[in-house]
Amino acid sequence: MANGKATDQACWEAGIVKQTYYRWRKEYGGLKVDQAKRLNEPEQESQKSKRLVAELSQGKQVLEDLARGNL
């Protein structure tokens, strides 16, 4: 993160306070890059699922309206 900069400067540029940096370092500091990337996978899958459910619900509503003769 710091790329040779002081922690204060790197935190300021990232828009976070030092306390957040140290908390994140404690929580995620031992992770390798591939492990850190996998942390986002469940969230991305959840977003995909929510979009799919929304699309299916919309399609169902259209079919119900067609069946009732409302379209």
Convert the pLDDT of each residue in 34-63 to its tens digit.
887 888 788 888 889 999 999 999 999 999
Q: What's the pLDDT score for residue 27?
A: 84
Q: Where are the domains of the chain?
A: 1-39, 41-71
Q: Residue 17 above 60 pLDDT? A: yes
pLDDT at 71 over 70: no
Supply the mean pLDDT for the chain. 87
d(CA 54, CA 57): 5
User: In degrees rounded to 5, what are phi and psi of residue 15?
Assistant: 80, 30
Question: Is residue 38 within 8 Å of residue 52, measured between CB atoms?
Answer: no
